[in-house]
Amino acid sequence: MSKPKIVVLGAGYAGLKTMRNLAKNLGPEEADLILVNKHNYHYESTWLHEVAVGTINPNQARFMISDVLNPNRVRLIYDEVVEVQKEDQRVILENGEITYDYLVVALGFESNTFGIKGMEENAFAIVDIDSSREIREHLELQFAKYNTDENAKESDLTILIGGAGFTGIEVLGELVDRIPKLCKKYDVDRHKVKIINVEAMPTILPMFDEELVSYATKALEDRGVEFRLGTAIKECTEKGFIVGEDEELIEAGTVIWTGGVTGSSVLTKSGFDITRGKVTVDGDLRAPGHENIFILGDCAWVMDEEAGRPFPPTAQAAMQHADTCSNNIAALLRGSALETFVFDDKGTVASLGTTDGIGTVLSGTELKGKAAATMKKVVDNRSIFLLGGPKMVLKKGKFRPF
Ligand code: FAD
Ligand code: NAD
């Protein structure tokens, strides 16, 4: 009898961790394992703001998948997933197709522009290594050409960030560290550079308490960020954002949209039942009505029954989904009971550059400044450890002292 074929789509936090667990816990006689990912590397999505602004090299934020999974045990396919054909248990790839008995969809997030006119065409978004590297190169070019291009304008040195959620704030934190270095490198007067954030809500990061929010706001303002809070972005043109009721144009040479994310568009193309871009999964993380399909990470809404709303999509949650999913696939193969996902909230930290941050950890302890920045590095190194093991931590980990 042929062995069941388990196919995992995506090698991010959820997909890679699921496959590492399966490879460890299922014998070769129990199942064939196949991982499909667009690239031959895994990247740390949670480090992309550092890549985009140029704090770290793109290579520090990624590692080869074949370094952490044994290709003799797991068949590795580097290709783009186009669609899942559920009726035929088949996945269509850009360059082929593959069938499955059990499927794990862990294709992560895409930028969500909420249909704001011109945003997709004119603003950068931080979604993967390629898009982040492009921002880094663009930003550097604005400084490099300022003193040589006779058509250069002072607004070319303005950096406009749309949205002050976690991603927007972490980008601002990197920018305030990086801009003085770029000014020095390219002989640009720091006073000519503007960093402007536009946020529709009256505050940044509303999930933190008032004290931490005002700490973060002041820390960024003191280092040169101009906040335009309570200001909705209406449109993005080639020149910049059009904001507010009076449709003011804010001109900038670099425009980055960090106003929200949604699940992979493959879900919609594949005819899953979608709510705001994602599939609301059952307690055991399966897609409703599909006994052999699990949906994880940023592709899934996992309900927080107590709060009556889904848990926020995070890397922390994605890796925990992986553990439940791999246990449940083993249970299905072995005929035992499936477990229900229980989120173990270890806290949240937002960086404000390399040496500053805010956070709430270990059921309510609040951190700010260097303590938060240190905790963020611990979290980053833990993630590499869980996905790549101790050797990868030594290779890619963050150990530089302040
Ligand atoms: P991902 O990690 O995005 O992985 C998806 C994988 O699928 C990728 O390898 C991708 O290349 C691949 N893929 C996508 N589409 C296709 C396709 N069509 N075909 C083949 N392969 C495909 N969360 C936290 O908990 N803590 C943080 O500090 C934090 N910081 C963040 C900072 C930034 C700048 C951003 C953008 C997000 C941050 N998040 C953080 C959120 C976190 O990154 C996501 O919740 C997490 O990445 C979701 O994991 P995932 O496995 O679902 O998807
Ligand atoms: P988000 O949805 O959390 O924040 C987007 C922000 O953009 C919101 O504050 C929203 O009010 C604002 N916005 C939306 N439309 C706007 C408009 N038209 N004009 C002005 N402002 C507008 O998105 P994100 O920051 O990309 O985060 C996505 C997910 O990733 C979240 O679940 C977050 O928890 C996670 N994340 C976590 C961390 C961390 O833990 N350190 C870091 C980054 C991201």
- 292, 101 in Cβ contact below 8 A? yes
Is residue 348 predicted with pLDDT exceeding 90? yes
- Distance, C-alpha 42 to centroid of its chain: 12
- 276, 112 in Cβ contact below 8 A? no
User: For 66-70, which contacts have Cβ atoms below 8 Å and span 24 or more sequence positions?
Assistant: 66/40, 67/388, 67/392, 68/16, 68/20, 68/42, 68/387, 68/388, 68/389, 68/392, 69/16, 69/19, 69/20, 69/23, 69/35, 70/23
pLDDT in the model for residue 2: 84
State mean pLDDT over 359-367.
89
Give the DSSP letter of residue 165.
S
Per-domain residue ranges of the chain: 5-38+79-111+262-345, 119-260
pLDDT in the model for residue 1: 66
- 60, 33 in Cβ contact below 8 A? no
Q: Which amino acid type is present at position 286? A: R
CA dihedral 215, 221, 224, 230 (to 10 degrees): 130
pLDDT in the model for residue 82: 98
State mean pLDDT over 281-294.
97
Q: Find the ligand nearest to 232 CA.
A: 2
pLDDT in tens, 207-256: 899 999 999 999 999 999 999 999 999 999 999 999 999 999 999 999 99
- 398, 380 in Cβ contact below 8 A? yes
Q: What is the secondary structure of 125-144 as a DSSP string? A: E--SHHHHHHHHHHHHHHHH
Residue carrying structure tokens 């590692």: 63
State mean pLDDT over 327-346.
97
Fold agreement between 5-38+79-111+262-345 and 119-260:
yes
Give the DSSP letter of residue 286.
B
260-273 as b/e, with b when 16 or more CB fall inside 10 Å? Answer: bbbbbebbeebebe
| Tokens of residue 266, six digits | 């493959």
d(CA 261, ligand 2 centre) in Å: 7
Single pTM value for the model: 0.97
Residues with CB under 6 A from ligand 1: 10-15, 36-39, 42, 45-46, 48-49, 80-81, 106-109, 126, 128, 167, 170, 264, 266, 297-298, 313-316, 318
pLDDT in the model for residue 400: 78
- 317, 109 in Cβ contact below 8 A? no
d(CA 127, ligand 1 centre) in Å: 8
pLDDT in tens, 1-50: 689 999 999 999 999 999 999 999 999 999 999 999 999 999 999 999 99
Q: Phi/psi at 312 (nearest 5 deg)?
A: -65, 145
Residue carrying structure tokens 């993005």: 236
Atom of ligand 2 at shortest distance to CA of 258?
Answer: 26
pLDDT in the model for residue 207: 85
Supply the CATH classification number for the domain 5-38+79-111+262-345.
Answer: 3.50.50.100
Q: Phi/psi at 165 (nearest 5 deg)?
A: -80, -160
170 annotated active-site: yes
Q: Say if domain 119-260 classifies as CATH 3.50.50.60.
A: yes
Looking at the chain, the whole-number percentage of residues with pLDDT higher than 70 is 100
Is residue 65 predicted with pLDDT exceeding 70? yes
